[in-house]
Structure 1
């Protein structure tokens, strides 16, 4: 029978299994066809694809029936096709034995968005092989590969310091009992996973009660389809400060919060975004949480060791680097739910869609940190759930010998 004729049918990409590509690079490989006897083939072709898709279902009750709304959007980054055996109307006879068919195609020069896997969408790149034979089903092989969008944090916009001030009046019943204020600064906007962010902050507690300052790094995944937005939010790192007593002031002279091995920011995709924020906050007695947000961008190309300027923020303080190292625990406690760090106003805005979710497996990827460390040595190229919902990015290392 026909299926007994094919002993081995495989698709192999050149390089290691965890190879990573970027815009403009060549994807090369070979299709292996091992036969026990000769077969007739109509065509053999290779297809390359890059697609972003956002998708989810929402249901609502209409009487005794349930109506489902399908939200789907798609962005195609490229389509490639190469004929290894062209269908010209005649059948091609392939003799028994092992046959190898090399193929290659170039990724588009324009920026390709980083590979991503999320609850409500994905950004995937793959190669597919199709073998067409007369009077037989089409045999298919599909292999995905990873693409990284280089984000160089050595750009002026990502080297710019981030700072802000926020205050709120504390209340007991209907009586004002003092004000709490936060002033916070970080030396730049762009960082890479594994780095430490020194947080410079001042907490002024003018109330009669103690408050506890904290800082969090949060990740927000946004999915967009049919004009509707779905979000997943997660806390990926935490920093807890000392208690600030009544009518006291506390200053952070570069308190350290370490970035875990998360995926890079995704900002250039029309339907999927991954964004990060440093949130500095305190619980204000008698009212909602006071929270100050400073935007972050997770890059892939780290800060250059030469030529970097002294930040106008960090130069104001003397940071004890030995203390910074001691301040970072080897095994930090798991981060809290996102719902515990947002203000009541934010929780109210999302109250129709807030569901606690503690699975951060998609957010924290231990293998990613090792990849980022290798990616750094390359020269620059020519997770509670909110439904507007914690999970990010599947990524693999690139072999530096390639």
Structure 2
């Protein structure tokens, strides 16, 4: 199985230009340190001078949203780059700065190793995206630049250094009823740990001590919190994943309830390693108290990736113009320097091995 983007160019010297890569599993997902094999395909209608053919592997995040402030609308945006690796497959080698390829179809294989470091997983939302892609740029003698790209799904390996990841989580709250009743209500919530894999069952235990004159109605909610940070401003997008209502707890009674909450197998893993995009999960136990403010207890949940779990490819629309930012140049981030040495001679149709940035 392979994934490809094709640029077809009719009635031009360059008839076909594309980049493609081979999937390593049926879900088309990759992780830290994986190797991606692929090829750049160039088809020309006649002998053609090429100034350069560059392979690029890149991962970056972008966020953008608008807010109304009175009669003015403000745009918040930010970008973060995780790697930007480039390799010259064909580069200037003659005195006139060109290289010549013959008429026909030319295939330039490449091998790219994803950096084995802490990089966030692919993510897609209307407010922000994290994308991983391979790209090829071709410049021929007319100084016209053509590009082809293909996205791939990246799932980061579990970061076991998250504080409290495998430790029990618990919290308690209490409330005194003073209006239209009397007494106190206490609630204690605990889970066996913070980290749960996709598809795993989360066990939650709720202790409710109702020493009041009112009955209470408990409800358990698993929800996500998407946070986007730009220009010292944060916007949050909460979303309920699932909820469950429990039986009412009568006045002057005590109840202990244990429930299994299934983590959906296709739920995106938590994103905690990006400075501009956060994907966090919470388990909230909510007590509805009639004629009084409700009582809530929240405990954190970290969704851990299960490598090999199918993920739906996100419908990427990630180019800067999609955000309608007035000054596109400001989106550029300082590129990292690649750790490899560029190829000085013309390619001999061998496989080019690219090595990740060491930092």
Smaller-chain TM-score range? 0.7 to 0.9
* CA-to-aligned-CA distance 1:297-356 (integer Å, 9 cap, x gap): 111259xxxxxxxxxxxxxxxxxxxxxxxxxxxxxxxxxxxxxxxxxxxxxxxxxxxxxx
Checking the alignment, whether the CA contact within 8 Å between 1:54 and 1:120 is kept in structure 2 is yes
Distance 1:369 1:109 in 2: 20
* CA-to-aligned-CA distance 1:337-387 (integer Å, 9 cap, x gap): xxxxxxxxxxxxxxxxxxxxxxxxxxxxxxx95459xxxxxxxxxxxxxxx
Distance 2:159 2:139 in 1: 44
Q: 2:269 is matched with which residue: 239, 264, 268?
A: 264
- The question of 1:244 aligning with 2:249 is answered yes
* 1:171 Cα deviation after fit: 4.0
* 1:207 Cα deviation after fit: 2.7
Task: Identify if the C-alpha distance between structure 1 residues 140 and 156 changes in structure 2 by more than 3 Å, giving closer, same or farther.
Answer: closer
Distance 1:111 1:197 in 2: 26
SS across alignment from 2:165: helix
- The question of 1:8 aligning with 2:12 is answered no
Distance 2:204 2:45 in 1: 66
* 1:2 Cα deviation after fit: 7.8
| Corresponding residue of 1:28 | 37
Task: Identify if the C-alpha distance between structure 1 residues 87 and 2 changes in structure 2 by more than 3 Å, giving closer, same or farther.
Answer: farther
Matches of residues 2-401 of structure 1 in structure 2 within 5 Å?
Answer: 3-15=11-23, 18-61=27-70, 66-88=71-93, 89-135=96-142, 137-151=144-158, 157-172=164-179, 176-252=181-257, 254-260=258-264, 261-300=266-305, 370=310
- Greater fraction helix: 1
**RMSD value over aligned CA atoms?**
2.5
* 1:208 Cα deviation after fit: 2.7
Structure-1-length-normalised TM-score: 0.69
Structure 2: give runs of 5+ residues left out of the alignment: 1-8, 313-359
Distance 1:212 1:243 in 2: 4
Checking the alignment, whether the CA contact within 8 Å between 1:237 and 1:259 is kept in structure 2 is no
SS across alignment from 1:157: coil
| Corresponding residue of 1:379 | none
* 1:154 Cα deviation after fit: 10
Task: Identify if the C-alpha distance between structure 1 residues 130 and 19 changes in structure 2 by more than 3 Å, giving closer, same or farther.
Answer: same
Distance 2:241 2:10 in 1: 53
Distance 2:185 2:11 in 1: 74
Structure 1: give runs of 5+ residues left out of the alignment: 303-367, 373-402
* CA-to-aligned-CA distance 1:229-283 (integer Å, 9 cap, x gap): 111111112121112122222211x312211231111111111111111111111
- Greater fraction strand: 2
* 1:47 Cα deviation after fit: 1.4
SS across alignment from 1:151: coil
